Amino acid sequence: MKNFDKVSVGNEARTELHDKLHLTGAEVSVNHLPAGANVPFVHYHKKNEEIYFITAGRGKAVIDGETTELAAGDWLRISPKARRQFFAAADEGISYICIQTKENSLEEYTQTDGVVEQ
């Protein structure tokens, strides 16, 4: 039995990795919005926080009515109940990775969960 999965992602508008990688603790999506485009809906979550990493381009997010500018290299965490919508800049697209995980579910991380073999 193999202990890993690997996929390649192209330039599709949105690729969800949950099924492709058999994820059991998070949802991850890779997203690309062309210049002037936006996610066509406002949304929020029941339980999952979202962590966004802007991989290229620039744009903005409107979160609970507040606008925050986004550019390559930015990280953004949004609580489940916050209403959000994403927009690419008028003259430049934006690409980002979104990680969804249950809020307050992290019990151990890196140094407390990792085991170094000697």
Cα-based angle 39, 74, 100 (whole degrees, multiple of 5): 55
Could you name the CATH architecture of 31-105? Sandwich (2.60)
- Parse the chain into domains and list their residue ranges: 31-105
Distance separating alpha carbons of residues 22 and 34, to the nearest angstrom: 29
Tokens for 87, please give them. Answer: 């927009």
CA–CA distance, 13 with 8 (Å, rounded to integer): 14
At residue 99, what is the residue type?
A: I
Distance CA 83, CA 34 (A): 22
C-alpha closest to that of 76 among 105, 99, 93, 95: 99
Could you list the pLDDT tens digit for every one of the 118 residues in the chain? 689 999 999 888 999 999 999 999 999 999 999 999 999 999 999 999 999 999 999 999 999 999 999 999 999 999 999 999 999 999 999 999 999 999 999 888 777 777 778 8
Neighbouring CB atoms inside 10 A of 3's CB total 4
